[in-house]
């Protein structure tokens, strides 16, 4: 609780514009009562979690939360204390005005980005709680994802543009379950084309959007999958997931071609990738081919067929059909009805628990390549992060729109619960993420262990000792709105 300290009030009141008049003393007392009402509550700061809906970014979710928190009674004491702190510490008038404007908003950040397509647990820090978010970048997370086979997009999910299509009729549940084995444990993962990772100071997604060539190969990153299982298999006619209709442009396909060549994923045997094959044609040759085709189509329109003496074209099939009481059109229609409609691409729901730095989109993309097809992520839900889990201790996003009377008690209880016992342990210790360098060494060791001679094992142990001696690089704190 922040008491109405006389000195603190004088500093605060000096920034409240009160007109000079004979009633100035009365106005000063009114301002003092206002200050007491603003600071008589507890200053609430800490960590809570919210269920982010699909269709908005993590940054937009923070802005929506901040819009509710700023005018609320629950965080009025925090804002009052923050304004008083700014006024007390900044003596430069210009800088002070700038800081006071900033002090009108509740400080809030998140502990791990969720893609706009994704839903689920988004951990938020308020006030000093933003300093605790770094630990959540290192904790384990549990996801449920729907993977759709038959196509690959530039974003590796259903909101992207189609880069290629691939056959999917041969993909079965047994085949997918068998290929999931290679994605359990420690391995090196190639991040998606559209990701926030930077190269030469520029995010990869900017290269992809601009269709510019990436300066160098994208480096694989060490990741670990603690649990991975197929929980639901959906045949093509049993779900509503669809392959996107928008195709990627030539420049975007060329960027993907260069990246996928690193892992040999761009072309498969039996791949019907017409969009990709067209990229190998010379522009002039492609133009001439279209011109020839147009000319042939025009010739077909004016081509005269031989006419009989009676002025009728001979057509024995039509005559036979008419004489027997049938119509040629009906015969053709019956043939089309006889052929069964083609089933759509299959889909599967996966559940996984992973360490920090893991891309679920990359898993879906790579799994599609593993079964000799293509795949994209159609849905994603983060069901758990650290000790926050959906249905247990996570605020529903709809509660924000219901007003402070609904969300305030829940947020207050979550933050108080965090301050009571969870602050010192944001990471779930039994499955905590290991150092990135250590995971990289272990992943590499598992890949070559079968062929590795005994002498090489000793060298591996030495490399582990060297890595253990190096200081761990600090994790990047999530951005603050």
Q: Minimal CA–CA distance to 152: which of 53, 229, 55, 263?
A: 263
Q: Minimal CA–CA distance to 187: which of 366, 361, 349?
A: 366
Beta bridge partners of 202: 199
> Residue 208 half-sphere exposure, CB side, CA atoms within 13 Å?
23
Proportion of the chain in helix, strand, coil states, percent, rounded to 5: 45, 15, 40
Q: Minimal CA–CA distance to 207: which of 258, 244, 170, 163?
A: 258
Measured in whole angstroms, the distance separating CA 109 from the mean position of its chain's CA atoms is 17
Annotated active-site residue in 5, 10, 64, 115:
115
Structure token pair of residue 57: 């970014």
Element (H, E) at 478: none
Query: What residue ranges in 394-478 does DSSP mark as E strands?
Result: 395-396
Those residues with Cβ within 8 angstroms of residue 67's Cβ, 6 or more apart along the chain or in another chain: none
Structure token pair of residue 154: 């530039």
**Distance from the first to the final alpha carbon of the chain:** 26
Measured in whole angstroms, the distance separating CA 281 from the mean position of its chain's CA atoms is 35
User: CA angle at residue 97 from 92 to 100, to 5 degrees?
Assistant: 115
Those residues with Cβ within 8 angstroms of residue 374's Cβ, 6 or more apart along the chain or in another chain: 149, 150, 151, 152, 164, 165, 166, 365, 368
Cα–Cα distance for residue pair 362/156, rounded to 1 Å:
7
Helix (H, G, I), strand (E, B) or coil at 52: strand
Active site includes 278? no
DSSP 242-276: ----PBPPHHHHHHHHHHHTTTT-S--TT---HHH
Q: Minimal CA–CA distance to 428: which of 139, 219, 234, 63?
A: 139
Active site residues: 115
């Amino acid at each position: 609780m922040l008491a109405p300290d006389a000195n603190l009030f004088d500093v605060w009141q000096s920034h409240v514009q009160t007109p000079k008049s004979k009633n100035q003393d009365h106005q000063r007392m009114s301002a003092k009562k206002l200050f007491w009402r603003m600071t008589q509550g507890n200053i609430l700061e800490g960590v809570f979690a919210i269920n982010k809906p699909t269709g908005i970014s993590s940054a937009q979710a923070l802005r929506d939360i901040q819009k509710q928190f700023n005018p609320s009674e629950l965080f009025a004491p925090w804002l009052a204390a923050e304004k008083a702190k700014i006024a007390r510490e900044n003596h430069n008038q210009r800088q002070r005005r700038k800081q006071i404007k900033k002090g009108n908003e509740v400080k809030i950040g998140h502990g791990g980005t969720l893609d706009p397509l994704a839903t689920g647990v988004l951990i938020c820090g308020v006030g000093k709680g933003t300093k605790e978010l770094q630990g959540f970048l290192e904790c384990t997370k549990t996801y449920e994802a729907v993977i759709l086979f038959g196509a690959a997009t530039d974003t590796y999910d259903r909101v992207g543009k189609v880069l290629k299509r691939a056959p999917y009729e041969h993909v079965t549940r047994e085949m997918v379950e068998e290929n999931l084995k290679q994605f359990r444990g420690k391995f090196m993962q190639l991040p998606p084309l559209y990701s926030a990772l930077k190269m030469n100071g520029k995010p990869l997604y900017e290269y992809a959007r601009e269709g510019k060539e990436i300066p160098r190969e994208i480096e694989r990153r060490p990741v670990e999958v603690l649990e991975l299982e197929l929980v639901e298999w959906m045949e093509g006619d049993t779900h509503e997931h669809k392959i996107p209709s928008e195709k990627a442009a030539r420049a975007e396909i060329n960027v993907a071609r260069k990246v996928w060549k690193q892992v040999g994923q761009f072309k498969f045997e039996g791949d019907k990738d017409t969009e990709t094959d067209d990229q190998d044609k010379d522009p002039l040759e492609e133009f001439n081919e279209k011109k020839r085709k147009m000319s042939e189509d025009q010739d077909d329109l004016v081509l005269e067929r031989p006419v009989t003496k009676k002025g009728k074209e001979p057509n024995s099939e039509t005559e036979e059909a008419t004489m027997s009481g049938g119509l040629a059109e009906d015969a053709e229609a019956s043939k089309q009805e006889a052929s069964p409609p083609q089933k759509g691409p299959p889909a599967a729901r996966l559940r996984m628990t992973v360490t920090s730095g893991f891309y679920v989109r990359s898993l879906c993309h790579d799994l599609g390549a593993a079964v000799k097809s293509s795949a994209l992520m159609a849905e994603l839900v983060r069901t758990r992060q650290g000790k926050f889990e959906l249905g247990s201790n996570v605020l529903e996003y709809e509660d924000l729109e219901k007003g402070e009377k609904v969300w305030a008690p829940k947020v207050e209880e979550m933050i108080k619960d965090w301050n009571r016992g969870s602050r010192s342990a944001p990471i779930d210790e039994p499955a905590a993420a290991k150092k990135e360098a250590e995971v990289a060494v272990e992943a590499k060791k598992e890949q070559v262990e079968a062929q590795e001679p005994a002498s090489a094992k000793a060298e591996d142990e030495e490399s582990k000792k060297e890595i253990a001696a190096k200081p761990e690089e600090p994790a990047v704190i999530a951005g603050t709105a």
